[in-house]
Amino acid sequence: MRIDWLGMLRRLLQVLAFCLAISAVQYAFSPDRPYEIPLVYSVLIGLSCWLFIDFGRYFFPSSAETGWPMGWPGVALTLSGIVGGYLLGTWGADSWFGWSSWGPGYARAELRSALLITLLAGIACSYYFYSMGKSAYLERKMGEAQQHANEARLKLLEAQLEPHMLFNTLANLRVLIATDPPAAQAMLDRMIAYLRATLAASRATTHPLQAEFDRLRDYLELMTVRMGPRLRYTLDLPPELATLPVPTLLLQPLVENSIQHGLEPQVEGGSITVRARCDGNTLTLEVIDTGVGLQDAAQAGTGFGLTQVRERLATLYGTQSAINLEAISAGGTRATITFPCKK
């Protein structure tokens, strides 16, 4: 039996507030009597009912949806707890004032009225806590369902990204087979090593930033076989950021975009720099190339890979993430990704 002490304390405070409200209403209808009388009776009876019901429910099998006993045991516990709480609370209040509510001088009408108020208030409070427990359960289930849906969506997006990269690589390999067989062989070896590393990697939606940079290095080495000295790259990852969790396949689409639209159209090729930095609680990843730059600003960022990266960021981080493309005055393009930095 595991008792949720924090939950019990929260319900205790709510019961006390409810008791104070009941005593205030009783005093409003009988202002000629001291406020201390309805206050003491209301608080002691309410606390006694809470004690019987909230502790008692841990001795019965409880529903996962509400945390309350199922079926008739729940009803019986509530009614017996209200009656027991009324008797114990009335005895405690009688002892406080030094009289007896059961004596011949006490009006039976007031006794019946107090019992009716206790019964109605006890049922109302029990139903409130029952409903709150069920609402909390449904909210947890909705959160779990949303998380599973997000994970499934991310898996789908990742599954779409990987074939996209493979198709591009195979198309390049086909050209090299006819024009430069030794380079095609080297490229094929690199692709096999890349695929082996990819298949061996975890299928989680996130991995350490170091793993993302390692995978990116494998990809750039693969592209270097095809482009030769026309492609130069620099990977800048501070050691303190190596273990930060990031979505998988996050940087590769940006690098692909830089190669395809920035460096390949340029005869002399160029360089790509990938760097990471953390400013406070925000992680910033940059992919900078010295290619031809943005040829069509209106179409910038609308390619397949960039669209998928944008959707994955939105799924994981919502409005806390952003991806931007901008032209560099000296020539080239800078792609910037920002999202919360979870250490």
Tell me: the pLDDT tens digits for 234-260?
999 999 999 999 887 788 888 988 888
Last residue of a domain, which of 143, 166, 200? Answer: 143
Q: Is 76 contained in some domain?
A: yes
Residue 168 counted as domain residue? no
Contact (CB, 8 A) for 274 and 285: yes
Question: Is residue 113 domain-shared with residue 195, that is, in the same domain?
Answer: no
- How confident is the model over 118-146, as pLDDT tens digits? 888 888 888 888 888 778 777 777 777 66
User: In the sheet where 322-327 sits, what is the strand order?
Assistant: 231-236, 270-279, 282-289, 333-340, 322-327
Kindly state whether residues 196 and 322 are assigned to the same domain: yes
- Helix, strand or coil for residue 67? coil
Tell me if the pTM is above 0.75: no
What is the pLDDT, as a whole number, of residue 197?
Answer: 61
The CATH number covering residue 198 comes to 3.30.565.10
Same domain? For 243 and 323 the reply is yes
Is residue 341 a contact partner of residue 281, using CB atoms and an 8 Å limit?
yes
Residues in the chain: 343
Please count the structural domains in the chain: 2
Domain with 69 in it: 5-143
Please report the beta strands in the chain, taking only residues with DSSP state E, as ranges in sequence order.
Answer: 206-208, 231-236, 245-247, 270-279, 282-289, 322-327, 333-340
Token pair 């059961």 is found at 102
> Is the domain of 198 the same as that of 129?
no
What does residue 333 show for φ and ψ, rounded to 5 degrees? -140, 145
Is 167 part of any domain? no
> Which of 118, 143, 168 finishes a domain?
143
Query: What angle separates helix 72-97 from helix 36-56, to the nearest 10 degrees?
Result: 150
**How many CA atoms, within 13 angstroms, populate the side-chain half-sphere of residue 286?**
15
Residue 204 lies in a domain: yes
Residue type, 48: S
Are residues 197 and 331 located together in one domain of the fold?
yes
State the pLDDT at residue 304. 60
DSSP state of 62: B
Say what the pLDDT of residue 312 is: 77
Q: Within a domain: residue 172?
A: no
161 falls within a domain? no
Give the model's pLDDT for residue 301: 47
Q: Let me know whether 188 and 316 are in one domain.
A: yes
Shared-domain flag, residues 238 and 297: yes
CB-based burial of residue 302 (10 Å sphere; 0-12 exposed, 13-18 middle, 19+ buried)?
A: exposed
pLDDT of residue 3: 77
User: Going by DSSP bridges, is the β-strand pair 270-279/282-289 parallel, antiparallel, or unpaired?
Assistant: antiparallel
Instruction: For residues 208 and 199, give the distance between their C-alpha atoms in angstroms, rounded to a whole number.
Output: 16
Q: Which residues of the chain have pLDDT under 70?
A: 1, 64-65, 103-109, 145-166, 168, 197-205, 295-305, 343
Q: Provide φ and ψ at 255, rounded to 5°.
A: -70, -40
Whether 162 maps to a domain, the answer reads: no
Same domain? 139 vs 192: no
Cβ 334 vs Cβ 326: under 8 Å? yes
CB neighbours of 321 closer than 8 A, spacing ≥ 6? 313, 314, 337, 338, 339, 340
Residue 135's φ and ψ, nearest 5 degrees, are: -65, -40
Give, in degrees to the nearest 5, the angle at Cα 215 between 213 and 218.
Answer: 110
3-class state of residue 296 by DSSP? coil
Cα gap 264→224, rounded to integer Å:
12
Let me know if residue 96 belongs to a domain.
Answer: yes
